[in-house]
A and B are shown apart, each in its own frame.
Chain A
Amino acid sequence: MKRTRFVFSGSGGQGVITAGIILAEAAVIHEGMNATQTQSYGAAARGGSTRSDVIISNQPIYYPEVNQANILVCLTQEAYINYSSTIRPGGLVLTDSRFVKTTKKVDARQIEVPMYDMVMEKIKKPIVFNICMLGALLGITEFVRPTSLMKVIKATVPKDFIELNQNAFELGMELGALYNE
């Protein structure tokens, strides 16, 4: 894959950092690509805004931070306000329609998906919101194979949680597929 820069943003506890790690890990471990993941650290463990930068490439990656994202995911309005202007023209902005009201000023394809509401309706566990978001992202464009991503999830979570995460991931895939071009 050509060098692709992702920014996952939201608030602490939504799992945006973990989501970035899972995507990058899938690319590295199961697809033989290179990836870096960095994040902005603050003093708060919960709440507050968080951001995770991921670069995936089949070439070496040196500078690991993302100044202009190809793909921007915003799960809070604050994140959208902070980062939507940094999207690379022609990029993709994925937002959750419950938490983010988009504006017309962004020079990118903007996709609003009711990920949180669907997770609450079908799965009823907010903790898998981030996995549903990854599903939606891959539903829109297959940056990595869905099976690679599931392999990482399976290797990371305790047995009892695998099915829950798989359901969330598949739900996201279905939601994202509606926007697959």
Chain B
Amino acid sequence: MTDNINSNSVNDNNGIKPNNINNGIKANNIKFIQGNEACVEGALYAGVDFFAGYPITPSTEIAELLSKKLPEKGGKFIQMEDEIASMCAIIGASLTGHKVMTATSGPGFSLKQEALGYACMAEIPCVIVNVQRGGPSTGNPTHVSQGDINQARWGTHGDHAIIALTASNHQDVFEVTVDAFNLAETYRTPVILLFDEVVGHMREKLIIPEKGELPIVDRLRTSVRKGVDYHPYLPREDGRLPMSDFGAEHRYNVTGLFHDMWGFPSNNPQVVRELLHHLVDKIENNVHTITRYKEHYLEGADYILISYGSSARSAIHMAKNRRERGEKVGVLELQSIWPFPEVMVREKCANAKAVIVVEMNMGQVMREVKACVDNPSKVFLANRIDNKLINPTNIKTLLRIIQGRGV
């Protein structure tokens, strides 16, 4: 039985190559590191050159490593006075033309929400990493949870759209981090990387791709010449908005207020309506392009486990064991959570006898799955909320109950 992988990801390698002897890979490119470090490697590969952050477990290694690596390549690192300031600082640095990132966990992610909304409104490319830990409040700093799924979607106030990606292994952490920078530039939007404590702290193999192996999207800058009017918020026909760096020849206004094509505040109802439509549509209309997922043993599966992040590892482990015993169990691993890939999930689950969402919260993705499948009553939740990694036995127990086989 093979591990079928089918994904929109740029690289279909699921990161854990069976039985390889590191053939043909330069020794320096093979690392045995934490997920947080894999995220840093991905960010550097994507071209990050400005990071502002504040220490918080379990994300701190990202700041620590970038404080060393960024100045080595002429980039900048700053430890700000809090997470609010960190978020604001990266937005400022993005406007001067840099690729920027910050990293945090639950409490810090809460603090960043106001400025995250600013980045949505002012359309500033930036990447925010949230290595999830137990919550609410201070919760459980050193233990795992996936309780910030909905906060990523709706944490900042007002209607808006957001992109949030996740990953279950270090190769994917690397690749979705690169992806996050690419999507941030493409859609001029903040992109959230929703990792979790297990993925962040666990060590495993990462093979760093050669330069050029993964596509990199650079800042789209305006071609409007000096002396010609540049409209910073007038989308091109393809919906994209070329930028002009602060310090370059075009001077314009950036604001968190509703604004016209010049970036100047406006409460004209038509301007307000059109801007909000633009902010939401540019992402929601591209769900298909943004969707990233993997299939593991999904071919002909009667029972489909939908999972993501570290809990997907347990789901795949369990599905592999079941398949070896001839049971048709497969895993649909989500790598993009927002915008939620409704159509893809509905299609994949159409013939399943039951769909089990495996996550470490009280059903945040399960509710999305129930909302999009044809028969919500066949959707079940296998979860753990005690800040321990859900294990394959936990999932198997639920599966046996659903199958009417008892435990």
The interface of chain A, by Cβ under 8 A from chain B, is: 21, 24-25, 28-29, 31-32, 34-39, 41-43, 58-65, 67
Contacts and interface: CB of A to CB of B under 8 A. Distances in A.
User: Which secondary structure dominates where chain B touches chain A?
Assistant: mixed
B21 A32 contact: yes
Interface residues of B, number: 35
Contacts of A65: 389, 391
Interface centre among A24, A36, A38, A62 (most CB of B within 10 A): A62
Interface string B11-22: 000101111111
A29 B27 contact: yes
Nearest to A21: B203
Contact of A37 (B30, B203, B313): B203
B204 A39 contact: no
A24 B392 CA distance: 23
A140 B396 CA distance: 36
Contacts of A64: 198, 202, 204, 310, 313, 389
A16 B55 CA distance: 25
A42 B140 CA distance: 10
Interface of B: 3, 14, 16-23, 27, 30-32, 57-58, 141-143, 198, 201-205, 310, 313-314, 316-318, 320, 389, 391-392
13 contacts: A24-B203, A32-B21, A34-B204, A34-B205, A35-B204, A37-B202, A42-B142, A58-B18, A59-B19, A60-B16, A62-B313, A62-B316, A63-B391
Nearest to B206: A28
B391 A38 contact: no
A61 B204 contact: yes
Contacts of B391: 63, 65, 67
B268 to A, nearest CB: 53
Which of A36, A43, A60, A63 has the largest count of B CB atoms less than 10 A from its CB?
Answer: A63
A42 B57 CA distance: 11
A167 B143 CA distance: 37
B18 to A, nearest CB: 5
Contacts of B317: 62-63
Contact of B201 (A28, A38, A59): A38
A28 B25 CA distance: 13
A62 B321 CA distance: 11
Contacts of B316: 62
B320 A35 contact: no
A36 B141 CA distance: 22
A43 B142 contact: yes
A168 B1 CA distance: 44
B204 A58 contact: no
A158 to B, nearest CB: 16
Contacts of B392: 63
Contacts, number: 82
Nearest to A31: B21
Contacts of B30: 28-29
A171 B255 CA distance: 66
A28 to B, nearest CB: 4
Given A34-B18, A62-B314, 10 more contacts: A24-B32, A25-B32, A35-B32, A35-B205, A37-B32, A37-B204, A38-B203, A41-B58, A61-B16, A63-B391
Contacts of B202: 36-38, 64
Nearest to A38: B202
Nearest to A60: B16
A41 B27 contact: no
A38 B169 CA distance: 13
Contact of A59 (B18, B21, B31, B58): B18
A96 B141 CA distance: 32
Contact of A38 (B32, B198, B205): B198
A24 B142 CA distance: 22
Q: Point out which of B18, B142, B203, B318 has the most chain A C-beta atoms below 10 A from its C-beta.
A: B203
A13 to B, nearest CB: 17
Given A35-B205, A36-B203, A36-B204, A60 B32 contact: no
A156 to B, nearest CB: 11
A63 B203 contact: no
A28 B198 CA distance: 19
Most chain B CB within 10 A, of A29, A32, A35, A60, is at A60
Contacts of B198: 38, 64
A64 B34 CA distance: 13
Which one of B3, B198, B205 has the greatest number of beta carbons of chain A within 10 Å? B205
Given A38-B198, A42-B142, A65-B391, A32 B20 contact: yes
Contacts of A41: 57-58, 142-143, 201
B84 to A, nearest CB: 25
A45 to B, nearest CB: 12
Given A34-B205, A38-B198, A39-B201, A29 B32 contact: yes
A181 B141 CA distance: 44
Given A43-B142, A64-B202, A64-B204, A32 B18 contact: no
A60 B204 contact: no
A63 B314 contact: yes
Nearest to A36: B204
Nearest to B57: A41
